[in-house]
Amino acid sequence: MTRSAQIRHDWTLEEVEALFALPLLDLLLRAQSVHRAHHEPNTVQMSTLLSIKTGACPEDCAYCPQSVRYDTGIGREALMEVEAVRECALRAQAAGATRFCMGAAYRSPKPKDLRAICAMVREVSALGLETCATLGMLTPEQARELKDAGLDFYNHNLDTSEEFYGEIITTRTYQDRLDTLEAVREAGLKVCCGGIIGMGESARDRAQLLLTLANLPQHPESVPINELVQVPGTPLHGAASVDPFDFVRAVAVARLLMPCSHVRLSAGRTAMSDELQALCFLAGANSIFYGEKLLTTGNPDTDHDRKLLARLGIVPEAAATTRSEAATGAADHPA
């Protein structure tokens, strides 16, 4: 690895916009250089996401098919049983995932449901998988309860800039989201937080979103960069598509601003060409959701992902660790 880049939390909007404005190839070169300074090259962290409670969410997020306010054909499904979640986690682990994320369509979880989710966390953690949950807003007490159960990560996306946020969501404020992130941090949990590209936001909104994340007191350990998945029945269905190079720019700037974070190529991969995904990996993405479904929307199947990664010479992080340990062992014990 090359010399580490400086970790900053004092970026200005002008600096971030200047990064977005770089010639694309210059931006990619800078992003890949920073990536290699902080991460093992040609590796990707594999996560699987399971919807443990689907539909009937009271929020009005304009992109979400699980909102009770929109007719999207998504039915209401009760919280899954703990054993069923464990079985799903076992299948994900067998397929190569190292992190298992549990998502529930809540504004915030009720005490009874949170107790059941904590039981799920304990079961999944016992398998040796990293655990992540996304359950809406949390109080400090709820965050500590999840931490005590063994949760590793909590996902709570900012989605977009504070200025554009009201165009997408009106049932909770931007500050509500920041308060949840603060509660999660204070509980000792790792943070997974990113946003969505393609909701009609401006280039400045994208810069402001990444600026907000980069200037948090501690960078999120995982930064999902999602491309809007347009679902019929949601207000954002029919929105203008994103220029693929603009999406790549967002990935690259996220890498430059948050060098140590895993930048996750997240929702929207089903519609991405293999070539676009390869550019995203070049831009510094080193995490993907792995499996055929993301909560309620599609995801590339695992066989296609394996073949794509093999074509690119990219290996899962766990395999890379094993390979590195084997090489170290050979050096320590030469034939």
Compute and round to an integer the Cα radius of gyration of the chain: 19
* C-alpha distances out from residue 257 to 165, 190, 254, 261, Å: 21, 18, 5, 9
- Phi and psi angles of residue 6, each rounded to the nearest 5 degrees, phi first: -70, 135
Q: What DSSP line would sit under 36-89, residue for residue?
A: HHHS-TTEEEEEEEEEEEBS-B----TT-TTBTTS-SSPPPBPPPPHHHHHHHH
What token pair was written down for 170? 């009106």
CA 78 to chain centre: 24
254-285 burial, b for 16+ CB within 10 Å, e for fewer?
bbbbbbebbbbbbbbbeebeeebbbbbbbbbb
**Residues marked as catalytic:** 57, 61, 64, 101, 132, 192, 264
114-145 burial, b for 16+ CB within 10 Å, e for fewer?
bebbbbbbbbbbeeebbbbbbbbbbeeebbbb
CA 28 to chain centre: 21
Amino acid occupying residue 139? T
Instruction: Tell me the pairing of strands 222-227 and 195-197.
Output: parallel
Residue whose tokens read 């306010």: 69
Sign of CA dihedral 64, 69, 70, 73: positive
Beta carbons within 8 Å of 182's beta carbon, 6+ residues apart: none
What token pair was written down for 13? 């909007």
Q: Which helix (H) or strand (E) holds 265?
A: strand 262-265
Contact 162, 206 (CB under 8 A): no
